[in-house]
Amino acid sequence: MKRIKNKTLTKIGLFLMAVLLSFHIFVPSAAAGSVSAQSAVLIEQHTGRVLYGKDVHKKLRIASITKIMTAILAIESGKMEDYITVSNSAVGTEGSSLYLVPNEKIKLKDLVYGLMLRSGNDAAVAIAEYVGGSLDGFVYLMNQKAREIGMVNTEFANPHGLDDHENHYSTAYDMAILMKYAMDNEQFQEISGTKLYRSPHPEEEWDRVWKNKNKLLTSLYPYCTGGKTGYTKRAKRTLVTTASKDGMDLIAVTLNAPSDWNDHIWMYEMGFDKFEPTKVVKKGKIDDINDPYYEKKVYVKRDFVYPLEKDEKGSIKIEATLIKPNKELWKDEQNIPDIVGRLDIYQEDEEIGRLPIYYKKGLSIDEDESFLEKIKNLFLFILGVQSNG
C-alpha cells in the first residue's frame, strides 16, 4: 500500500509541475522588465507614440509578418470580390500553404483571409500575381507603399517573407508603422481579428476551414484584437499584434523572439498599466486668446488624445499661431478664411500633434451656444418637459 501511495503522490506532483510549467509558458513575470526578442516595440495605434522599445531600428528578417503589406495592398486594390485563377507557380510555393489547386478560381477576399489566418505562401504569390501583374510588379508596389508611409529601414523582395532573398528585411518600428497604417482600414481590421474563416473548396463538398494562428487572439490574451505570426529558420519567430483596453489601442512587434507570446503580453500589460489616453485638447472654443479680433471666435473641430503616464501631464505645452487679421478685407466675413491658424502641441520639447484652428463666422461661439440652449429650452417647454417637472 505504501508503494502505491508514493506512486500516486509522485503522479500528482508531476501533474502539478506540468500545470505550473504551462502557466509559466504563457503568463509573463511581472518582474521580468524585458523581452526575449532581439528587437521589439510597443506603440499607441493612433498617435504612434513609442511606449516601449528595444533595438527598434535594427534591420532584421521578418518572415511572414511581411504578409501584412501583401494584405493591405490587396484590400486597397479594390478587387476583393474578383475571382482569380491560381497559377501553377503559386501552388508550388514552399512552406505554409492553403493547398490551393492549380487553375482553381477563388475570390481575392478568400485568399487574403487565408493569407492572414493560415499564412498561406501560395496565397501570397497568387495575390501578388493578380494585384501586381507579376511578382516583380507587386514587390515594386510593396516598396512604393513602404516609402509612402515612412518605413525608411525596410526593403521587400517577395510577398510572403520566405528566406529566398537577402534584400528582404525590416525593423520592429517600421513594422509597427505598417500595422498602424493597415489598422486604419476597416476591412483589414476585420480580417486581422477573425478567429475562424470558411472558404469553398473547388473539388470537394466541404469548405476549407482556416483557424487563425495568432494564439493571443484565439486563446491567450483577451484584449488582443488581431495580428500576424511569422517564422522561418533564419528569421526565427516574428509577431505583430494589436490589443485594446480601457479606450487605448496598442500595437506590439517582436523580431527573433523565442518567447513572443510572453513578450507581447508583458508589453501590453506594461503599456495599459503605465499609460492612459489623456484628452490634451478638447474640441470647441479655444480659450486664452488675447487678440480681441479672434476672442470667442476660434475653435478646433476635434479632441486631441495622447497616451501619457500620470506624472507626464504637466509636461504638455500648447501654442496657438494665428494669421494677422486683414481688418479692411475682413469687414465682410465671407472673406475670412475658414482656417486662420494652427494649434501646436508639445510634450517637453517634442511636437506630438498639430490641429487647424477654425474661425466661427456670424455669432460668437458663446452667443451661438447660448442661442442653441434657448432653442432647446423652448422646445422642452412646448413639450411640457420643464426642469421643475
Q: Which residues are catalytic?
A: 64, 67, 119
DSSP 1: -
**Residues whose CB falls within 8 Å of the CB of residue 195, separated by 6 or more in sequence, listed in order:** 211, 212, 217, 218
Q: Phi then psi for 189, rounded to 5 degrees?
A: -55, -45
- CA–CA gap between residue 53 and residue 169 (Å, rounded): 18
322, burial (CB in 10 Å: exposed 0-12, middle 13-18, buried 19+):
middle
CB 112 within 8 A of CB 191: yes
User: What is the gyration radius of the CA atoms in the chain, in angstroms?
Assistant: 27
Q: What would the grid cell of residue 13 be?
A: 506532483
> Which are the contacts of 354, defined by CB distance < 8 A and separation ≥ 6?
342, 343, 344, 345
Enumerate residues 6+ apart whose C-beta is below 8 A from 289: 295, 296, 298, 320, 322
User: Do 232 and 163 meet the contact criterion of CB atoms below 8 Å apart?
Assistant: yes
Residue 70: closest CA among 176, 145, 13 = 145
Assigned C-alpha cell, 53: 522599445
Q: Give the three-class secondary structure for 130.
A: helix
Cβ proximity of 160 and 67 under 8 Å: yes
